[in-house]
Amino acid sequence: MRTFAFLTAILLPLFLVDAIQAAIPLAGALKYAAVVLVAALLMSGAVWIDNQIQRRPTRPDVR
């Protein structure tokens, strides 16, 4: 699950480059800055999801 989340966070912006370039008719540097921003947001989301998964107890706490 962790590997899938990180690969998605890294590869998805690469697939979105064409869409971002078509949507933002500005300088090339701004287009790639948008790609980096999307990648950073996805990566932080993947880390957050991974942390939530690790916090979940695997069995009920018996006291």
CB 28 within 8 A of CB 2: no
Give percent above pLDDT 70 in the chain.
59
pTM reported for the whole predicted model: 0.44
3-state secondary structure of 27: coil
Instruction: Check pLDDT > 80 for residue 20.
Output: no
DSSP code, position 26: S
Of residues 49 and 31, the one with the higher pLDDT is 49
Ramachandran sector of residue 7 (left: φ over 0; alpha: ψ -120 to 50; beta: rest):
alpha
Q: How confident is the model at residue 34 (pLDDT cuts 50, 70, 90)?
A: confident
What dihedral angle (degrees, nearest 10) is formed by the CA atoms of 18, 19, 22, 24?
-110
